[in-house]
Amino acid sequence: MKTTNPEARIPYLSMALLAQKVIDCLIEFTERKEKPITFDKTLEEALQALRAAEVKYTPQAPRRSMSALLKYEHLLTLNEAWSTAEVSETAQSLEALLKSQGEIQERMSMAEKVIEKFFKLENQALRNFDRPSDPLPRGIRKLCEAP
C-alpha cells in the first residue's frame, strides 16, 4: 500500500514495531527463564491491541478503546497474517503468560509459539509497508517475458 505520502505507511511500521517488541521480550524470557523488566508492560500492550482487534472484527461492536491497533492498515495486516481463531488463541496465550499459569516448560513452549505468530505478523506488516498500491501498468508482463 505504498503511497506518495510516507505518513500513510506509518501504521505498518508501528505494527511491525509492536510485534518486534513482543518477540524481543519473549526471546529474553525463553533464554533467561525469567520475566524481563518489560515483560508485563509489553505483553499487556499486545494483549490490549489484540482484544481491540477482536472487537473490531465484530460488525456490531462499538468503537471504544484506544489501542495500538485502531487503524484500517493494522486490521488489514492482522487479517492477512492470522485467522480470527489465531487472534483469539494468541490473546489467550498472552493472558496465560502474563498470569504465569502452568509449569515453566509449558510457558516456554507457549512463548515460542507466540514468537512464531508475532514473527509472521511482523513480516506481513513489513511486506504491506513495502507493497506498491498501484497496479502494474498494462503490458508489463509481456515486457518481462521478452527474450
pLDDT at 9 > cutoff 70: yes
d(CA 88, CA 9) in angstroms, rounded, equals: 26
> pLDDT band at 1, cuts 50/70/90?
very low
pLDDT at 63 > cutoff 50: no
Q: Which residues pair with 2 in a beta bridge?
A: 132
> pLDDT band at 142, cuts 50/70/90?
low
- Long-range interactions of 27-30: CB distance < 8 A, separation 24+: 27/115, 29/97, 29/108, 29/111, 30/108, 30/111, 30/112, 30/115
Q: Please tell me the predicted confidence (pLDDT) of residue 107.
A: 93
Of 63, 64, 27, 21, give the one whose Cα is nearest residue 44: 21
Q: Please tell me the predicted confidence (pLDDT) of residue 71.
A: 81
pTM equals: 0.77
Question: Per-residue pLDDT averaged across 46-61, rounded?
Answer: 73
DSSP 8-state secondary structure symbol assigned to residue 132: B
Of 44, 37, 34, give the one whose Cα is nearest residue 94: 44
pLDDT at 134 > cutoff 80: no
Q: Which residues pair with 132 in a beta bridge?
A: 2
Least confident of 25-39, 54-68, 122-136: 54-68
Q: What is the mean pLDDT of the chain?
A: 83
